[in-house]
Amino acid sequence: MNRDIQNALQILREGGTILYPTDTVWGIGCDASNPEAVKKVYELKKREDSKALICLVADDRMLKKYVKEIPRAALDIIHIADKPTTIIYDEARNLAGNLIADDGTIAIRIPDHEFCYQLCRKFNGAIVSTSANISGQPTPKSFEEINPAILKGVDYVVNLHREKICAQPSSIIKLSNSGIVKIIRK
């Protein structure tokens, strides 16, 4: 795992893209603060940049760097959720402008996954995590199902968990600073 982390860190720091296993599905990632790297992810997925992407951070301390205000309910959800849960927060900051939704929100998850945790921690920053598929195509449930264009299009492919069948994508909940809660995806 350490070699994969070091290789992925080098690519992220150079503004490249990686393909990596997460706590949900295989993801395409990049430095979430680098607009050119984020643009590469949108192009690789053939996805309009008006559709926001998810980021991963190591812990709630790192989360504070990217969200102006963390609603109290978010911390409760993070610590008690029994499945991977992505939360959409108001007032994103310190991220690439093309990653933040038009309304100023950002979707962030703290993964329960050792590789992702270590990668975010050692990178000391948020990493994009969007499903490893071309926009409009099904999300691959295993490494073998990943489109060859995605495999060729990234700068580095992590060599872990390739035999694993992936879980469902994360639940997504929008928590506004005004207290409104909306379930986007169960």
Q: List helix spans (H) across 81-167.
A: 114-123, 148-153
Please provide residue 130's backbone torsions phi and psi, each rounded to the nearest 5 degrees.
-120, 145
Q: Are strands 85-89 and 171-175 parallel, antiparallel or unpaired?
A: parallel
Average pLDDT of the chain to the nearest whole number = 92
| For range 60-67, the mean pLDDT | 96
Among 15-24, 120-129, 172-181, the range scoring the smallest mean pLDDT is: 172-181
pLDDT at 140 over 80: yes
Query: What is the gyration radius of the CA atoms in the chain, in angstroms?
Result: 15
Helix, strand, or coil (residue 100): coil
Among 23-37, 42-56, 118-132, the range scoring the smallest mean pLDDT is: 42-56
The DSSP code sequence of 42-72 is HHHHT--TTS--EEE-SSHHHHTTTBS---H
Helix, strand, or coil (residue 60): helix
Residue 136: give its domain's CATH number: 3.90.870.10
Of 25, 23, 12, the C-alpha closest to 132 is 25
pLDDT at 120: 97
Domain count along the chain: 1
Greater pLDDT, 49 or 15? 15
What proportions of the chain, in percent to the nearest 5, are helix, strand and coil?
Answer: 30, 20, 50
pLDDT at 167 over 70: no
Q: For 4-22, give one letter per residue: b (16+ CB within 10 A) or e.
A: bbebbbebbeeebbbbbbb
pLDDT at 79 over 90: no
pLDDT at 56 over 90: yes
Structure pTM?
0.92
Element (H, E) at 43: helix 35-45
Quote the domain boundaries for residue 162.
2-185
Q: For 74-92, give one letter per residue: b (16+ CB within 10 A) or e.
A: beebbeebeebbbbbbbeb
State both tokens at 23: 């706590």
Per cent of the chain over pLDDT 90 is 72
pLDDT at 123 over 70: yes
Question: Looking at this protein, which amino acid is placed at residue 23?
Answer: D
Please provide residue 46's backbone torsions phi and psi, each rounded to the nearest 5 degrees.
55, 45
Greater pLDDT, 180 or 95? 95
